[in-house]
Structure 1
């Protein structure tokens, strides 16, 4: 019920989720752009209004100063030439000055110079009505009138400067507010981006882990259902089907290997038993040519049995991952493996050089013996007739190192990268009647990995092919071998 409810708000497709993520991430940025536009519009309006007022007030202050000069000039001219037209001009300038001063009072309501000018205008308005002598004596009133007019102009400039300072402070306040809004909204966009990225990437990573699990182990243990867009949920369902199908195919393959191995081993045992009876002379004496044919049949039967055993080993390693660690003498395990290949080595005419024991180590007998068996079998199959097989071992730095080297044709560079792949056939032809299965080295590498070790193709100064097995100690209490290692030439088997 919870899952069904939680999925109601989820987009039904990946495209819807991407579009929703784009819109949600862009929404804070759009709000930021809108608020920035509003703030810039407000600042622009204030700046334009202030500029207009400053121009108008500055022009009015200059006009008042010019009118004051014209009034003084007209009054002094009248005192000299006594023309009535000059008084009319004087009255017009006085009225204009009074009108502009009234507007200037709105800008400077509490300015003392404006108050003083109002009183002086009343006194100057009395001049046209005075006798000429009194008129001339009152001309000195224009000196303080000019001083107060100039002081009023400076006061106007200061008021304009104060208004510009207020606009500048307002701009700084708006700038700081925009910075905080930018930080907050961009952070919100980043958080939304991370949230939607997680919503998109999380199911993709779940699918990736699922695919890696299927590819590495053939199945994904207890997969969690993918919660996300419909396309990814559908892909997860397809992976479920693929995993089930792979499990079915793997089971069919293992069943086929078991049945085929059993079906092959039964007639093969009869063939080898019959060839052994003929070789013992049960059916009568054999000629040399007939005995040679029987030996060929018996050798081919042995190689075929070895191939079947390799298939069984490969099948077992793919499903049985249990280890039985015990203290063993590595030299004893190696000699037991060499004893199984005594006839093959003797027929090849290869001289064997094996280290002396005891070399005690904790390992799995079955896996180690199977690994060494495949390496020795590989040396018999591909080694040089009449060549050398050398097995070296040493314990160093908490690891057991075993090297199996043989003379013969070196492994080509192009084969080395895929040397341990199952069923891979290299360019070097196997010496013998049967072609190899291509899983011997793969089984050997799996046996090494099963014990947390590694098997690599190493370089050797004398011999063409050298495989190096490195096995770590199972625990810290057994990192030191109980005996010192011995290397090569300790035994020489024909």
Structure 2
């Protein structure tokens, strides 16, 4: 019930989540674009109105100056020629001046020059009714009138400049506000991007961990259900089905290996026992030709038994076998393994060179013997008839290196990368009546991994094929025993079979 309630707000599908993420991320950017458009529109309107007003006010101030000049010219001309038409022109220009000054008064309500001009207009309006002598005496008033008109024009320009500065300051304020809004809204978009990316990536990573867990064979003790789009939740359910199916197949495989190994070993033991009895003459004297056939049967039976034991070792290693480290002589272990292959080496005609002991080390005897046994078996199976087999050892405080090298056909480059894969067989032909199972080196690599060591194919100047087993010191062995590591699904080594 809690899961259902917590998921009500979540999109039902991945497509819905992506569309919602797109809309949510674009919303702050859309708001930013709208606000930027509004601010630009406001500034554009303010600049347009201010420009129109500035042009109009400048033209009016210049017109006032021209009218003042025409009024003075008409008055002075009348004082000279005394024509009534000049007074009519004077009165007309004065009236125009008065109308324009009233408009200028609204622009500069507190300007003293405008107030002075209004007073002077009243005085100048009296000139046409004065006697000529008084008229001529008062012509000097036009000088002050022109000065106040020029002062009013300068005040108008200063007012226009102040308005331009105000628009510039307003533009700076709008720009600062836009920058702050841009920072805030873009940050919000980034946060939303991160949020929705996390909502999409989190279930994908959970699925990735599930897949890696299935591929490595690891099973978590407690698994949390994926919270996310329906497609990913559905994929998680499919992975559950796949994991359970793989567990069933793994159990069936292990059961098959156990049953097959048991069923094969029982009749094989009877075949080998029967051939041994015939070779001992229990059923009567055998000829030389018959003895050769019995030896062939016994050798093939021994090889088949070895293959079955490899399958059993592989099955055992798949179930986290725990090692039992002990202090042993590596030279003694090598000689014990060589004694098992004495007859095969003799038939192969191989010259064996082994290092001298004692060489004590802390290791698992069974696992180390298994590694050496598989490496020597491979050297016999793939090595050169009448060739050389060398077993070397180097010891330091940090590790022990054992090398098994033989002459013969070098391993192909395309086989090196898959050399330690189970059931993989390279291009090299195995010599002998039986074909290998392809798990010998895989078992050997697992045994090395069991001891926190490493088995690798290395280049050798003297012989064509050389495998090197590197074993860690006793402290690492103790850690390996405590940790009980998983093996077959965690291999990172290169191997060959």
Query: Normalised by the shorter chain, which TM-score bucket?
Result: over 0.9
2:233 pairs with 1:228: no
- The residue number in structure 2 matching 1:161 is 161
- The residue number in structure 1 matching 2:9 is 9
Distance 1:447 1:477 in 2: 13
CA drift at 1:323: 2.1
Q: Conserved in 1, the CA contact under 8 Å of 2:452 and 2:477?
A: no
Distance 1:394 1:175 in 2: 76
Could you tell which deviates more after superposition, 245-254 or 280-289?
A: 280-289
CA drift at 1:414: 2.0
Distance 1:474 1:153 in 2: 103
CA drift at 1:412: 1.7
Distance 1:200 1:337 in 2: 57
- The residue number in structure 1 matching 2:452 is 452
Q: Conserved in 2, the CA contact under 8 Å of 1:218 and 1:243?
A: no
2:274 pairs with 1:277: no
- The residue number in structure 1 matching 2:493 is none
Could you tell which deviates more after superposition, 225-234 or 413-422?
A: 413-422
Distance 2:176 2:129 in 1: 62
- The residue number in structure 2 matching 1:214 is 214
- The residue number in structure 2 matching 1:296 is 296
Q: Conserved in 2, the CA contact under 8 Å of 1:78 and 1:87?
A: yes
CA drift at 1:397: 5.5
- The residue number in structure 2 matching 1:110 is 110
Taking the TM superposition and a 5 Å limit, the aligned residue runs for 1:62-461 are 62-217=62-217, 219=219, 222-396=222-396, 398-461=398-461
CA drift at 1:220: 5.2
Distance 2:349 2:476 in 1: 43
CA drift at 1:211: 0.6
TM-score (norm 2): 0.94
Q: CA 1:231–1:362 in 2, change beyond 3 Å: closer, same or farther?
A: same
CA drift at 1:258: 0.5
Distance 1:114 1:461 in 2: 111
Alignment length (residue pairs): 479
Q: Conserved in 2, the CA contact under 8 Å of 1:214 and 1:220?
A: no
Could you tell which deviates more after superposition, 48-57 or 343-352?
A: 343-352
Could you tell which deviates more after superposition, 81-90 or 448-457?
A: 448-457
* Secondary structure, aligned partner of 1:475: helix
Q: Conserved in 2, the CA contact under 8 Å of 1:219 and 1:243?
A: no
- The residue number in structure 1 matching 2:494 is none
Q: CA 1:474–1:127 in 2, change beyond 3 Å: closer, same or farther?
A: farther
* Secondary structure, aligned partner of 1:429: coil
Q: CA 1:175–1:21 in 2, change beyond 3 Å: closer, same or farther?
A: same
The superposition leaves residues 57-95 of structure 1 with CA deviations (integer Å, 9 ceiling, x where unpaired) of 111101100100110111111111111111011111101
* Secondary structure, aligned partner of 2:471: strand
Distance 2:66 2:393 in 1: 116
Q: Conserved in 1, the CA contact under 8 Å of 2:452 and 2:476?
A: no
- The residue number in structure 2 matching 1:484 is none
Q: Conserved in 2, the CA contact under 8 Å of 1:218 and 1:247?
A: no
The superposition leaves residues 180-213 of structure 1 with CA deviations (integer Å, 9 ceiling, x where unpaired) of 0000000000000000000000000110111111
Distance 1:31 1:152 in 2: 46
Distance 2:365 2:126 in 1: 134
The superposition leaves residues 221-270 of structure 1 with CA deviations (integer Å, 9 ceiling, x where unpaired) of 53321110111001000000000000000100110111011110000000
Q: Conserved in 1, the CA contact under 8 Å of 2:324 and 2:364?
A: yes
Distance 1:218 1:381 in 2: 35
Distance 1:267 1:52 in 2: 113
2:50 pairs with 1:45: no
Coordinate RMSD, CA, aligned: 1.5
Could you tell which deviates more after superposition, 393-402 or 82-91?
A: 393-402
Q: CA 1:477–1:363 in 2, change beyond 3 Å: closer, same or farther?
A: closer
Could you tell which deviates more after superposition, 275-284 or 314-323?
A: 314-323
The superposition leaves residues 289-329 of structure 1 with CA deviations (integer Å, 9 ceiling, x where unpaired) of 11111111011101100110111111111112422222222
Distance 1:31 1:475 in 2: 65
* Secondary structure, aligned partner of 1:319: coil
* Secondary structure, aligned partner of 2:318: helix
- The residue number in structure 2 matching 1:54 is 54
- The residue number in structure 1 matching 2:486 is none
Could you tell which deviates more after superposition, 403-412 or 182-191?
A: 403-412
Distance 1:213 1:258 in 2: 25
Distance 1:94 1:296 in 2: 143
TM-score (norm 1): 0.95
The superposition leaves residues 390-411 of structure 1 with CA deviations (integer Å, 9 ceiling, x where unpaired) of 1111123611111000111111
CA drift at 1:219: 4.7
Distance 2:325 2:212 in 1: 30
Distance 1:448 1:127 in 2: 126
